[in-house]
């Protein structure tokens, strides 16, 4: 999990990294490796062990994106469960992404929106041009001329309704068997489908926080499932690359690394 605190005086951000104890799989020492320390165990940021999680705070330059992962006891890799994004690597695994760009851009956009909105409020008196409403009689006069056209408009509305129904049927017929993803059983597949994830492509592009949100909403029984590899598996399934998928699943245990 990531918590960010931007400095008002300098272009830096203090980032608090945290990893749940259960994600460490019994490991004793956890360090953060990434673009900011050359992916080196020796330079890795050490995390302090607590009862519920490992944590540490790091100051990084803002306005950038960083790829990183947690390394446990120098041999077990783990992603952040609520990273800003995940990107595939040439070795077939995914790295977590820490973005220190998006929030600053959003803040600037909000400032611009507020600045533009102020003049509109000041110009509100101009809206008192009620005489336009007084022109209603003209609309009434035009109504008689358009009454004859009304039946045609109604007849056009029926075919339009049929067209909008078609995509729903197509979506159902195009659903994939998500149980081919290791870690996804029939009930979880049903939950994902209800959450708008019905195909391998949907699952491959889904962010991990959305997947966790679906599991958490389903109750404690599903909260312990780890969806961190589902997108990677689904990406291979979407390409019908079954050989690589089988090889990957051979390295997993219950869908977990």
> Could you report the per-residue pLDDT of 175-216, keeping only the tens digit for each?
999 999 998 989 999 999 999 999 999 999 999 999 999 999
The mean per-residue pLDDT over the stretch 140-167 comes to: 47
Backbone dihedral region for residue 64 (phi beyond 0: left; psi -120 to 50: alpha; all else: beta)? beta
Return the ∠ at Cα 84 (arms to 82 and 85), rounded to 5°. Answer: 100
- Write out pLDDT tens, residues 127-147: 555 555 544 445 544 555 555
3-state secondary structure of 251: coil
Dihedral of the alpha carbons of 218, 194, 96, 69, in degrees to the nearest 10: 40
Token reading at 250: 């051979």
133 versus 65: the higher-pLDDT residue is 65
Provide mean pLDDT across the span 229-255.
Answer: 90
**CA of residue 126 relative to chain centroid, distance:** 43
Task: Count CB-CB contacts under 10 A for residue 244.
Answer: 14
* pLDDT score at 44: 95
Report the C-alpha gap between 101 and 69 in whole angstroms: 19
Q: Output the pTM of the full model.
A: 0.45
Q: For residues 72 and 107, which has the higher predicted lDDT (pLDDT)? A: 72
Check if the beta carbon of residue 236 is closer than 8 Å to that of residue 252: no
Confidence of residue 5 (pLDDT cuts 50, 70, 90): very high
Report whether 182 contacts 249 (CB < 8 A). Answer: yes
pLDDT value at residue 134: 46
Domains, the chain, with CATH or none: 2-104 (2.60.40.10), 178-250 (no CATH)
Q: Cβ contacts of residue 217 below 8 Å, gap of 6+?
A: none
Within 8 A by CB and 6+ apart from 134, the residues are none
């Amino acid at each position: 999990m990531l918590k960010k605190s931007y400095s008002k005086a300098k272009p830096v951000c203090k980032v608090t990294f945290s990893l749940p104890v259960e994600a460490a799989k019994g490991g004793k020492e956890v360090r953060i490796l990434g673009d900011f320390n050359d992916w080196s165990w020796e330079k890795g940021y050490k995390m302090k062990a607590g009862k519920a999680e490992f944590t540490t705070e790091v100051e990084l330059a803002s306005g950038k994106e960083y790829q990183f992962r947690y390394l446990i006891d120098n041999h077990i890799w783990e992603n952040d469960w609520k990273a800003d994004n995940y990107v595939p690597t040439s070795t077939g695994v995914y790295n977590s992404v820490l973005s220190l760009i998006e929030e600053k851009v959003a803040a600037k956009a909000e400032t611009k929106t507020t600045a533009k909105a102020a003049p509109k409020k000041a110009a509100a008196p101009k809206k008192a041009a009620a005489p336009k409403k007084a022109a209603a009689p003209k609309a009434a006069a035009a109504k008689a001329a358009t009454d004859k056209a009304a039946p045609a408009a109604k007849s056009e509305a029926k075919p339009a309704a049929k067209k909008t129904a078609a995509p729903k049927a197509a979506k159902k017929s195009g659903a994939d068997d998500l149980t081919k993803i290791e870690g996804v059983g029939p009930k979880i597949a049903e939950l994902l489908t209800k959450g708008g994830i019905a195909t391998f492509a949907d699952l491959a592009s889904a962010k991990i926080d959305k997947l966790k949100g679906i599991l958490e909403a389903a109750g404690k029984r599903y909260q312990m499932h780890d969806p961190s590899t589902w997108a990677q598996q689904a990406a291979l399934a979407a390409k019908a690359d079954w050989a690589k998928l089988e090889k990957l699943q051979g390295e997993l245990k219950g869908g977990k690394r």
